[in-house]
Homo-oligomer: A and B are copies of this chain.
């Protein structure tokens, strides 16, 4: 147990970020997770994959930070030189690690792939490093100790990096350092704009004590409100304080809170459906399969989700969902009447308890004076009847699709809660 204020620095290796080809999401993930552990990230750097620059960045970082985490440059190809550079920086020979070799062989064989020379070379690792096992790919994580600092190298493929961090590195850091208590608690809201929320909770926000801070984290259709508390005292007291503040917040904005922390609307609606043994189907027009894709991202969704129809053309709305052609002609495809018939049709065709429909003008074209781009009707058919609502989203196609999908799930969540 070394230190209560532990500082970390992140170094991303590779040219993709320096030429602007990819955005550095790995560092954002690591920064978020390290902060949650109570480790302060003091600097993030992106550098090219050149040995002398890597060495100089490691030297600079080791003056500032206790933990130096490097990502990238561990792939099997010629342009990946991180491993060789680290071996030489830590005066370590590269040796074949037979455990890792066997693990790589098993991983590849489970994918029906035969190991080739490039794969085999991934088991050639610096002798002095602690291996952080990669269960999701062939490039292993490596941890080196030097002058009381730890240096960690992780692969750049996001899901492999995340896997090694979560399964190997985070437990190791928790065990090795005595860290301050940092507690985050986030309320997830939908159906209300950030500026309206801010007005409603202004007084409460100003009354927060200094060691508890609030952050607004907006994304299309959702505003997350995150309370963060820091303390060197025991965890219990801080957790109680945060919970009390969260209770005060709930009293003000309860109708818009659908969940907490890492909850997602697709998981929440799934749990509600499953708990009541209800089934679900969808009829999507402007969201084009996005709602279906969100619902089916949840493992085990086949317990309640039967299926969906993306009815992009009017012909499909009529043929598959049984929407009345005359109504489409008379009211237009984006209307209360068509949204209602789509939800009704899906509920019948897919034989489910609930059905959600979305029909709107995602843009960039297709808008009119009376129905501009962003106009969207969402309907929910339930055992209790059908409810349809009109929304006016923005001008940006991708954001309109996201907002409509989130709003459809929020309406579904509210409808399920009304059914006992």
A379 interfacial by beta-carbon distance below 8 Å: no
> Which residues of chain B are within 8 angstroms of A289 by Cβ–Cβ distance?
284, 289-293, 295-296, 308, 310
Find out whether the CB atom of B307 lies under 8 angstroms from the CB atom of A312: yes
A277 interfacial by beta-carbon distance below 8 Å: no
Find out whether the CB atom of A28 lies under 8 angstroms from the CB atom of B20: yes
Find out whether the CB atom of A119 lies under 8 angstroms from the CB atom of B195: yes
Most buried by B among A157, A305, A308: A308
A270-309, CB under 8 A of B: which get 1 and which 0? 0000000000001010011111110111011110011111
Compute how far the CA of A44 lies from the CA of B44 in the bound complex, rounded to whole angstroms. Answer: 8
Find out whether the CB atom of B27 lies under 8 angstroms from the CB atom of A46: yes
Q: How many copies does the complex hold?
A: 2
A331-353, CB under 8 A of B: which get 1 and which 0? 00000000000000000011100
A306-323, CB under 8 A of B: which get 1 and which 0? 111111110110011000
Find out whether the CB atom of A24 lies under 8 angstroms from the CB atom of B27: yes
Most buried by B among A25, A111, A312, A397: A312
A93 interfacial by beta-carbon distance below 8 Å: no
- Name which of A142-150, A171-179, A214-222, A242-250 contacts chain B: A214-222
**A216 (CB) vs chain B CBs: closest residue:** B77
Find out whether the CB atom of B307 lies under 8 angstroms from the CB atom of A311: yes
Compute how far the CA of A39 lies from the CA of B116 in the bound complex, rounded to whole angstroms. Answer: 39
> Which residues of chain B are within 8 angstroms of A43 by Cβ–Cβ distance?
18, 45-47, 53
Compute how far the CA of A365 lies from the CA of B302 in the bound complex, rounded to whole angstroms. Answer: 11
Interface size on A, residues (CB 8 A): 108
A216's contact among B24, B75, B184, by CB below 8 Å, is which?
A: B75
A17 interfacial by beta-carbon distance below 8 Å: yes
A44's contact among B46, B214, B287, by CB below 8 Å, is which?
A: B46
Compute how far the CA of A24 lies from the CA of B214 in the bound complex, rounded to whole angstroms. Answer: 20
Find out whether the CB atom of B45 lies under 8 angstroms from the CB atom of A299: no
Most buried by B among A184, A297, A393, A401: A297
> Which residues of chain B are within 8 angstroms of A295 by Cβ–Cβ distance?
288-289
A169 interfacial by beta-carbon distance below 8 Å: no
Contacts from A to B (Cβ < 8 Å)? 15-25, 27-35, 40-48, 53, 60, 75-79, 110-113, 116, 118-119, 136, 157, 159, 184, 193-196, 198-199, 205, 213-218, 226, 228, 282, 284, 287-293, 295-297, 299-302, 305-313, 315-316, 319-320, 349-351, 363-365, 372, 374, 392-399, 401
